[in-house]
Chains A and B, each alone.
Chain A
Amino acid sequence: MDKPLSRVAARATLLSGCAACACAWLFLGCTGYMTGKNDSGGGPTLPANTAGAAGSGGSSNATVQVGGDHAPLVPVPAAMRRLTARQYANSVHDIFGSELALTRPLEADETNERFSSLGAAKVATSPRGVEQYRDAALEVAESILARKSAYPELSSCSPTSVSDPCIATALGHFGQRLFRRPLGDAELGRYVGVATANGDQQLALGLRYALAALLQSPSFLYTPEVGETSGATLRYTSYEMATRLAYLLLDSTPDAALLEAASRNALVDDAGLSEQLTRLLGQPRAQGLAGRFFGEAWNVNRLSAQSKNAELFPEWTDAVATAARAEFNAFLTDLTATRKADLRQLFTGRTGFPSAALTPIYGPLTSNDAPTPLSLSGARTGLLTSAAVVAANSPTDRTSPTYRGVFVLERVLCVEPPPPPPNVRTELPSDPTLPLRQRLEQHRADPVCRACHGLFDPLGLTFEGFDALGRERSSDAGKPIDTSGTLGELTFGGVKDLAEYVAKDPRTERCLAHQLNDYANGHGETKGESGAVDSLRDALVGGGYRFDALVTALTLGPGFRYLAKAE
């Protein structure tokens, strides 16, 4: 059962980072959470696995070895995920053809969580959302029937009698694609029953409603998982694995080959899984995985044409925002798919991928309309100082060392500062003649503020050479910019120093493994997963810091393949 977690119990000190740099943190008095990291420092500890089922006994909750000296995995109960709006659209297009127009809006994805997959694993659909699924399903079904000659299962299916076998054949075929598994007899019977609800009359209309019913089934809209026993453990079935792989790697429904592999029960062993993984990783959609993952992990998904105040920054247009995001994706595709290079180049890489539309940010560019490799100059370093990352981690109208410092702590090092304490004044001194650095210093004069702002503001100040859009600048409030900063006792001359530091900090490796584990599994890392995630980090390091090494270790690893029985 769930237990209320007191703040004291939830504390894990910042000490639990790397040995080399850890001592620098302590004096600050700002307790944060090393996200997902097992607290072995003897400080206050967390209750084991508050999620509930694991550890409560029963053969299906057996632990699974993870390799190395790491603690075995305590599997986590599955929580079905609702397809995101994009996954819904991708799935419908992959099954029925991309020509299909989808004009009906769906209920918004849950955005309260860091990753959309975590929100999708919690969200329930409101009555209005159910209505929207109905409207969308009827629209899709109507479009399918309007172009039925495009589908072999429908092109010659014009039933005049309820006993025409093409009804069940067509619904069985589309049902299998939509549900990502074959339908049981009773299930299929329900949908045939819809098509034949008016007897021999209006069977074409009946087929439309039957297809719409399939499209509204929770077996399509969610990814329910129950697993199967395998010895003492509970593992995801081959069909469940097909779904897990497809939505992780392709952001869409399993293709026919993946379902075929599942039908041979080939996705519960390493060999069959590896074969499909290799095949899928070669597909263009899979090459977008890094862009999707880091887009969420680094806050870049929220970036849009409207992210900046139009009165202050008329240069920030739809074209600029789009090009900034395109550069972000191009950088990641180049790094993780084309070159399959060391992920630490996220911080220290020397090449950007601007298109000409980014001239307002980077200065005159001779590149063309597509992202084009360009050597970085000035203070720019890796993806860390790209227009997309800097702009996404700035407010609408100015820079914020606080946002940027929290970004590096939370999203790069996985150190989560606690929320601000209650009843603390947060107004900044408003003297506009002072640079932000000085105004923040005044704010930190208050010891209550300093406890945490003393941690992230000096970190974020290294980014002060970039304005709210990510343009380089040399002055603030008429005074030269000072880009020096600190992290505990470490000092940095500027953002390049910081980038080199975080590239070497072992917390960065652990953070990447932790974040991808959360993203792929749809839940926050539990204590019982700590060893499994440590072993993912090992695989990343041992694989030359390549993203595909991490993805491979994750999808073949036990955390992605074993579950605990849900209560």
Chain B
Amino acid sequence: MASSIIRSVKPQRLARRTMLRGALRGTAVLLGLPILDIMLDDSGTALAQGEALPRCFGVFHWGLGINHQAWVPSTTGKDYKLPYSLEGFADLKDYLTLITGFNHPNSSPGHIPARGIALSSSHDMSICQGECVGVYRGQNHPEPSVDMIVAQAWAGQAKFDSLELGICRTGPYRSNSSWRQGGTAYNRHETSPQAIWDRLWSAGPAANPSSELLAVSTRFEQSMLDAVVGDTTALQQRLGARDRQRLEQHLEGLRALEKRLQAPGVTLACPSPDRPTRADFGDEGTHEDKEPKHAIMAGLLTTALACDLTRVFSYEWSANQSTTVYWEVGVNTEHHQFSHDAQGSQGFKDIVRFIMKNFASLSRMLKEHTEGAGNLLDRTLILGTSEHANAASHDYVDHPYLMVGKAGGKIAAGQHHRNPNPNNLDAPKILLSAVRAVGVERAALGQVGSDAARVATQTVAELEA
């Protein structure tokens, strides 16, 4: 085993022999391996073969918006003063792109449709059955969330097409800021660091038999997946369109398992950090230990990105309508209720500042992972947003968006850009800008067939490098 070469989540060098072993096993050079200096060209900015370094894309979502007084700087451009909420980014200001003054078209209010607006510029009531009782519930977001748009475009490039990680668990929804198909196909954010580790770095049950059984097990495993795929496909033919589509989603998962089975050795070649020892973070309670969990999660994510185990992630700090309690800043009322009772209070501003401090610490870990002349954050773009702007009034006016990272040089990072037109409906363009920045060539993004303003066909030119 080549494990335990990297003992902590801090970036370390791999033995050249380890890298070669991975390559000799016949996997793609990048699969499951950290970017090493020996793989880079002389300037340390591209692969020796001349290919650009792969880009990474992530979403950082937090619930319940912001307070604009503590969010919007008074000036724009490069020399703006970081607002109170974002002072945690002081050492990362060159990597931060703060985008303000962009509005979404108004919509059915409430937190559930809101995340569809914020992350895919879509929300659709057409999924409701029967008489559509509770029109604002159970809505469909016909577009995938932006992280999934990128993951689907990059499917098959890394061992895991995407990772979903979550910190806060308390609330009615817990996890619903990443979806492959609106209304039905949510990814559930893993909130246990140990479970993330087990998924990425342990071989899993029944997959670590003695070496002479490995080939036999693989054959059986393949046969098992074949049978389940066969059953699923046969069943699909008997069902209606909706159920067929749901089973199609199931098949996607089975195919991903098959693909991983056909690339054995990847896990062995990727050096693993130590398994986190802490399991109890007060999840779902009023005293969730968010920061210690976040520190471990962010470290595992950094290693996973550095090892090219995945290139896409959704980091759900908190879900929409989160009811976690920010005891860390002295607020004892759960977040959702507090956003309604006291959105203008200092306590509310302190909550946003606390969340942003942690967003910054994740970003810092990526930046501190050096690769040749650059670092992991240079080739990454993290889009940060929340389901609402002002959650007290359930709105999308001057919606909070920030980008962290340079997307391989495609983003003009280090500035505050504010939309000069107060009546604009340009927020969907930010989503299109983000996916195009990492090279996903989409003509449009947003809910087609709804009002035209929801569909972005242009990017925000000022964000482009």
Contact = CB atoms under 8 A, between A and B. Distances in A.
B231 A396 contact: no
A127 B110 contact: no
B38 interface: no
Contacts of A113: 137-138
A128 B190 contact: yes
B133 A419 contact: no
Nearest to A2: B126
Nearest to A35: B133
A395 B231 contact: no
Counting from the closest, the 10 A-B pairs by CB-CB distance are: A566-B240, A130-B253, A526-B130, A306-B285, A197-B223, A124-B249, A2-B126, A127-B253, A209-B220, A124-B246
Given A124-B181, A126-B188, A202-B216, A212 B334 contact: no
A194 B223 contact: yes
A216 B224 contact: yes
Contact of A125 (B161, B206, B249, B286): B249
Nearest to B195: A105
B392 A427 contact: yes
Nearest to A179: B231
A105 B283 CA distance: 15
A418 B106 CA distance: 16
Interface centre among A218, A304, A426 (most CB of B within 10 A): A218
9 contacts: A114-B134, A118-B138, A124-B247, A129-B253, A130-B252, A210-B227, A218-B247, A309-B325, A396-B334
Interface residues of B, number: 100
Contact of A138 (B134, B188, B205, B232): B205
B132 A46 contact: yes
A302 B219 contact: no
Given A197-B220, A217-B231, A218-B235, A306 B135 contact: no
Nearest to A201: B216
A210 B224 contact: yes
A471 interface: no
A19 to B, nearest CB: 22
Interface of A: 2-5, 7, 10, 33, 35-36, 46, 49-51, 53, 76-80, 104-105, 107-108, 110-114, 118, 122-131, 134-135, 138-139, 142, 186-187, 190-191, 193-194, 197-198, 201-202, 205-206, 208-210, 212-213, 216-219, 222, 224, 226, 302, 304-306, 308-312, 395-398, 400, 416, 418-428, 430, 523-527, 529, 565-567
Nearest to B176: A112
Contacts of A186: 234
B124 A218 contact: no
Describe A's contact surface by its main secondary structure. Answer: loop
Contact of A427 (B188, B249, B343): B343
Nearest to A6: B125
Contacts of A396: 286, 323, 325, 333-334, 337
B133 A33 contact: yes
B175 A108 contact: yes
Contacts of A76: 129-130
A180 B457 CA distance: 50
A127 B260 CA distance: 12
Contacts of B154: none
A194 B224 contact: yes
Nearest to A106: B188
A79 B286 CA distance: 37
B216 A80 contact: no
B90 to A, nearest CB: 31
B302 interface: no
B341 to A, nearest CB: 5
Contacts of A424: 393-394
Contacts of B125: 4-5
Interface in B122-156: 124-138
A456 to B, nearest CB: 15
Interface in B295-353: 323, 325, 327, 332-334, 337, 340-345
Contact of B130 (A213, A428, A523, A566): A523
Contacts of A198: 216, 219-220
A419 B136 contact: yes
Nearest to B178: A126
Nearest to A110: B186
B185 interface: yes
A524 B252 CA distance: 29
B133 A416 contact: yes
B217 interface: yes
B42 interface: no
B110 A419 contact: yes
A172 to B, nearest CB: 14
B17 interface: no
Given A206-B220, A302-B172, A396-B333, A131 B253 contact: yes
B130 A130 contact: no
A36 B216 contact: no
A527 B130 contact: yes
Contact of B134 (A33, A123, A430): A33
B141 to A, nearest CB: 12
Contacts of A111: 172-174
A134 B257 contact: yes
Interface string B164-200: 1000001011111000110111111010000100010
A214 B107 CA distance: 45
B148 to A, nearest CB: 10
Contacts of A122: 127, 138, 183-184
